[in-house]
Amino acid sequence: MPEPAAWRYDKITKPMFDVPAEHVILVGRVLTMAGDVFEDGFVEMMDGKITAVGERGRLGAGDAAGEAGAAGEADTAGEAGVVVEHTGGTIMPGLINSHAHLNWDGIHDLARQSMDDPRPISAFKAAANMLKSLRAGVTMVRDLGFHDMNLFSKQAVAQGIFPGPRLKVCGAAIIQTGGHTYWVCREASGADEMRRAVREQVRGGADLIKIMACHDTLEFTDEELAAVIDEAHRNGLPVTAHATYDACIERVARFGVDCIEHGGSMSEETVALLLEKEIPIVTTFAPLVQQSQPDIARRFGIPEWKIEERKKAVADPTRYEGLVRAARAGVSIVFGTDAGSPAVEHDVIAPELAHMVKVGVCENALDALASITVRAAKVSRMEHLVGTLEEGKAADVIVVDGRPDEDLFALDRVQTTFVEGRRMHG
């Protein structure tokens, strides 16, 4: 394991935001995402863990949880004074956004924010977006870079300086000098400098390494690409690659990355390679979807020519053929929104999921929910802890007004969010 980041050695006398883990029983419809749906069920949480989940009848008819209660009603039952909440909604695992940028505000130009925002302003934007994420039911964010600012977001949450979701962060994304989005990445040239760039993110406490592998052309020499992937793996970190067309996707998969961001056109041979190496794809349709809707796009200052371009692109089925082919072949498709992009604020969830179903990379609403829970947990190597409602797992739980496995836009009505049993919203 790498040496811990320097802040890990800090002595924290008391967190600034010391939200206690509750002992609570949530009663309602339970969508476990582990195969079970309990139409009249419960989830019990204590000490940050899920201690029981199942049919409400298991609780016994004599206690308050076993009796019918009005939606939103809270009771106290038992000697321990456990709170029982009759939610009237669907109880399900917390949502995971596997591609987001907390320091981008979802409104303004990305390059200008990246070059012009003072670092304190970037920090405030991340704080605001963590709150937006929690209110949208997002209990874990995989932040894929804005310089190295996500390292400080991670520290702030871990040390109780600011309330936020769980964070998996890459530090600064790594790019060849002058490469795609060089203005927000760690530039490097040559194999040795690539290794240095990886080690800098490791030293800062990164959970993964992100590389920008292409734009209009392939980026990195073979020696550079091999070095950045090898150095990450030597330090025990996975590598994810921005890769948007077949030649790039095939190349980074062959060189050994662990995940593909965005995806795009893919040959049968590339799909087979992804399957062989068990490499997932995190799709990010939200910028396209949001910017193609004039009533939304105009509020964010998207120019008319861009709206027309996006409308044509979103309606073009050939744009999705590679991703659909991969999904049908069995490649794991995972939810991400590229949150922070213009018109994609950090509480935009349902439009991405709905589009995943519409274009065919997810079979139905339940499969789309798997992409934002159980499959997303696996991408971040957290499936042992989160992603499903099962006894012994962390109490990352949300309550939704409605049935999101039937209507994905029910996720616009998140009533309550718990992270590790701590009530962060509602």
In this structure, are 37 and 154 located in the same domain?
no
- What's the pLDDT at 144? 98
Same domain, 396 and 311: no
Pairwise CA distance, residues 258 & 231, whole Å: 13
Residue 215 placed within a domain: yes
- For residues 372 and 395, membership in a common domain is answered with no
What confidence score (pLDDT) does residue 59 get?
A: 84
- Kindly report the CA angle at 335 between 333 and 336, in degrees rounded to 5? 125
The answer on 279 and 269 residing in a single domain is yes
Q: Is residue 13 assigned to a domain?
A: no
Those residues of the chain that have pLDDT short of 50 are 62, 78-79
CA distance 182 to 215: 11
Q: Left if phi > 0, otherwise alpha if psi is -120 to 50, otherwise beta: which for 101?
A: beta
CATH number, domain containing residue 82? 2.30.40.10
CA proximity to 285, closest of 239, 332, 349: 349
Position 81 scores a pLDDT of 72
Cβ of 412: how many Cβ atoms within 10 Å?
Answer: 18
Is residue 357 in some structural domain?
yes
Indicate whether 184 and 82 sit together in one domain: no
Domain identity same for 418 and 359: no
CA distances from 264 to 65, 101, 275, 344, 361 (A): 49, 20, 16, 20, 12
Name the β-bridge partners of 187.
175
Note whether 188 and 318 are same-domain residues: yes
Can you give the pLDDT at residue 62?
46
pTM above 0.85, yes or no: yes
Whether the CB-CB separation of 65 and 59 falls below 8 Å is answered with yes
What's the total number of domains in the chain?
Answer: 2
CATH code: domain of residue 279: 3.20.20.140
Backbone angles phi, psi at 32, to 5 degrees: -80, -25
- Residue 67: predicted pLDDT: 56
Classify residue 2: in a domain, yes or no: no
The reply to whether 296 falls in a domain is: yes
Domain that holds residue 176: 95-379
**46 is a domain residue:** yes
**Tens digit of each residue's pLDDT (9 = 90 or more) over 116-140:** 999 999 999 999 999 999 999 999 9
Question: Is 351 among the domain residues?
Answer: yes
Whether residues 327 and 420 share a domain: the answer is: no
Question: Does residue 14 lie within any of the structural domains?
Answer: no
Q: How far apart (Å, rounded) are the C-alpha atoms in residues 354 and 16?
A: 38
Q: Identify whether residues 290 and 190 lie together within a single domain.
A: yes
Residues 54 and 175 in one domain: no
Q: Are 144 and 225 within one domain?
A: yes
Tell whether 305 and 345 lie within a shared domain.
yes
Strands 138-143 and 95-100, by their bridges, are: parallel
